Amino acid sequence: MTPMNAMFGEVTAERRIAAAPLSHVSIELGHLYMEDFEAGPDRLRRMFRRVAPWAGAVRSTWEEQVPGRRARVSTCFLIDDYFSRFSSPAELVPMVLEAAAESDLTIDYLARESACAEPAGLVEDRLVDDPPPGANGSRPPVKETGWLCNGMRSSQAGAVQAMGRAQRWAPPAQNAKRGHSIFVDVELWDETGPHRTWSCPFLAAVWQLLRLGLLRDGGRLPLRPELRPQAWPTDWDALSPIVQLGDHAPPFAAYTTMSVLSPRFLPVELAVRTILSQVAVDAEVLEQVAGRSEGEGIRLEEELVDRISYVFI
C-alpha cells in the first residue's frame, strides 16, 4: 500500500485577513483646529505654503529610493469634525483644496476626524500596558480607567496605608528611562453619562494606524476610502469618512507615514507615540505587511513607532 496524505480544512477554523493596498509613504499635509478655519482662508494658505517644500522633500527621497516613477506617495488631510462642528463640507472642502492647489499641493485623501472614532474600540482592546519593573503577571495591570502612562504614577503625599503609616511622596518613574524619567500620562477618553468622548491623541493614534493599514475588524479593513461625491454635502455626517479625491491616487495606507505639523502639536504627538508604543497589532497583519514590503525590496522598521515620522515646522 502506498502512504497517503490526507488533508482536511475547516473555513471557520482559519482566519482570513484582508490586504490593504499600500503606498510607500502617506504624507499628512498639515493639521488645523476648527478655530484656525474660522480665521479664514489666509491661515490655510500660509499653512500649505510652509508644508509644501517639506512634502516635496519626502516625495523626492522616496523617488530616489524607488526609481523609475514607481514611488507611491499619497497625501492626506484630516479635518476635525469630532470635537467641534464648523461650517459644512460644501463650504470648507473647496476652500481647503484651493488653498492647497495655490502651493502646488494635491490632496489625495480627505478624512474626517470622527471617522477615527469608529475603529477606536478596536485599538483600545489592543493596548498592552507597559509593565513596571516587578510586574510578574500575578496581578492584573494597575489601571487608571481611561488613562495610559509609560511608567509608574507618583504616589500621593499624606495618603495613609491600611496599616497606619503615612506615605511619603514618591516621584513618578518612566519604565524604560535612560538615567532620568520623562513620565507621560495620557487621557484616552472621558465619559458623560453613556457618551464617551475619545481624546485627540487617541484619535490621532487611530489615524496613524489607519494610515499604516494595520487595523482589521474581523479580518476586514475597518474603513475604505470612497470616491468624491458629485457635490460636497452640507452636513459632515453625509460625507464618507475617507474621501478619495483623484481617480488615480496612490493607495491611502502606506508602509510609513510622515506628518508635517506645527510645533504646537508636539505634545499631542508625544501622547500619540506613548499610546502607539503600547498597541499590539495583530501579528498576522504585521507579517502580511512585512512580506509585501520585502517583496519590493523595502525593509520596514520592526517597531510601529519607527514607521512614523514628522516634520515640525
Partner 1 sequence: MLVMGEVHTGLLQNSGEVAASTCRRLLGLLAGQTVRVSRRPIVHAVSPDRLTGVDCRLPSASQSRVRGVGTVLTRCSITGGRVVQGSSYVRIVRAAVDRRLPWSHYLARPGVMEVLGKAKPRDLSDGFTDDLPGDRLSGASAGRTRPDPARPDPARGDRGPGWSGSAPLDLGAISGRFVDLVQSSPLLDRRAPFKIPRTRLRWVAESASESGAPAIRFTLHNDQLRTLRLVHDGEFTPAVAELCEDLALHDWLLTTLLVIVERALTGGAPGPEAVAKLTPAVDHLLHLWMPAARVDETLTPLWESLERYPGFTRQWQSLVDRIRDQISVNMLTLLIRKGGW
Residues that bind partner 1 (CB under 8 A): 8, 10, 12-15, 119, 121-122, 124-126, 128-141, 150, 152, 155, 161, 165-170, 173, 175-176, 215-219, 222, 276-280, 282-283, 302-306
To partner 1, the closest distance from the beta carbon of 192 in angstroms equals 22
Q: Which is nearer to partner 1, 66 or 122 (CB)?
A: 122
To partner 1, the closest distance from the beta carbon of 38 in angstroms equals 36
To partner 1, the closest distance from the beta carbon of 14 in angstroms equals 7
Helices and strands: H and E segment counts in the chain? 8, 13
Name the strand (E) or helix (H) holding 118: none
To partner 1, the closest distance from the beta carbon of 74 in angstroms equals 24
Other CB atoms within a 10 A radius of the CB of residue 122 amount to: 17
Give me 127's grid cell: 493596548
Q: Is-contact 287 259, C-beta < 8 A?
A: no
To partner 1, the closest distance from the beta carbon of 208 in angstroms equals 13
To partner 1, the closest distance from the beta carbon of 168 in angstroms equals 4
3-state secondary structure (DSSP) of residue 224: coil
Q: Which is nearer to partner 1, 4 or 166 (CB)?
A: 166
Strand 308-312 and strand 254-261: the pairing is: parallel
Across 126-155, b (16+ Cβ under 10 Å) vs e yields ebeebeeeeeeeeeeeeeeebebbbbbbee
Give me 129's grid cell: 500596558
To partner 1, the closest distance from the beta carbon of 104 in angstroms equals 36
Per DSSP, 199 falls in state: -
Residue 14, beta-bridge partner list: none
Q: Which is nearer to partner 1, 22 or 276 (CB)?
A: 276
3-state secondary structure (DSSP) of residue 235: coil
Give the span between the Cα atoms of 114 and 237, in whole angstroms: 9
Q: Which is nearer to partner 1, 64 or 125 (CB)?
A: 125
Q: Which is nearer to partner 1, 68 or 133 (CB)?
A: 133
Q: Which is nearer to partner 1, 168 or 195 (CB)?
A: 168
Rounded to 10 degrees, what is the CA torsion of 120, 276, 253, 11? -70
Q: Which is nearer to partner 1, 155 or 234 (CB)?
A: 155
Residues 6+ apart with CB under 8 A from 164: none
Q: Which is nearer to partner 1, 4 or 283 (CB)?
A: 283
Closest Cα partner for 304 from 282, 292, 291, 312? 282
To partner 1, the closest distance from the beta carbon of 13 in angstroms equals 4
Closest Cα partner for 172 from 164, 181, 163, 160? 181
